[in-house]
Structures are given as structure tokens and as C-alpha cells.
Amino acid sequence: MTAITYAQSAEKEQVLNINRQLFKGTSEKIESLIRENMEDAFLFTTANADVMDKETYISGFALHPAISIPLLNTSEENVIIVGNTAILTALAHINISRNNAAPNDLWERITGTYIMQDGRWKILALHATYLPKK
């Protein structure tokens, strides 16, 4: 493995780890894990086509007391890095419950845009699209 290939592999793993930390923070309501891994200009386009900025995502979704997300995992992850920008695509499996209702089991295709800032990757944008039920 060449130095360039190893460096790219290490950076891809860093992006995957940031995504895991962000999803762990969202699922377990750990505000510090969410904040430290998000760029201040963060935008999230939900699978319902709503757009949330960083503060709306944190307070109106991730930390909202009426929302529970007991499952938030990704698979089929792929990371492409060009310069200081990384794109992560993945399949997300989500269980989400509102107001103590039975959880909805959702599958979404997600695309995250990450930027390198001050020597570390942060998520700048996230987009989710529902997968049709089969």
C-alpha cells in the first residue's frame, strides 16, 4: 500500500467515524457528539423534504424529548474524498418514535458532505431519501 493510498484510507475511516459519532449522539441524545462533529453552517434535508439547520436539527430533532431513535445504523457505506471535501453515501436503518408511539422502521439512502476544517472532518450537509417498502 502506498503512502497516498494509506492516507486516503485513513481519511475515509475518519469520515466514517465522524458519521458514527454523529449518529450515536443523535440516537443517544449526546449533544456534545453532535455539536463537535457538525459545521456551524450544517443543513439537513430530511426524507420528508424539510430543511433543518444545525440548531433545528439538534433541538428540534435529535434532542427533542418527544422523539426517540432507538436504532440508527448505516451499512453499504462509501466515501469519496476530493481535496478538503468528502462525500459519504450509505443505507440507513432507523427506528424512530414520536410521543411514545410504536417505532416506525425506516430505510433511507443518505448522502453526507464533509469538509476538512482545522485538521478535522465535520459534516456540512446531510440528505435523506426514503427507500420504497417492498
- Rounded to an integer, the average pLDDT of 88-102 is 94
Q: What is the distance in angstroms between the CA of the first residue and the CA of the last residue of the chain? A: 41
Q: pLDDT tens digit string along 100-131?
A: 888 899 999 999 999 999 999 999 999 999 99
Cell output for 5: 493510498
pLDDT value for 103:
86
**Into how many domains does the chain fold?**
1
Q: pLDDT tens digit string along 48-61?
A: 999 999 999 999 99
- Rounded to an integer, the average pLDDT of 62-69 is 95
pLDDT value for 50:
97
Average confidence score pLDDT of the chain: 93
Alpha-carbon gap, residue 77 to 23, rounded angstroms = 14
* Domain around 16: 3-130
Residue 57: name the closest of 129, 131, 119, 125 by CA: 125
CATH number at residue 95: 3.10.450.50
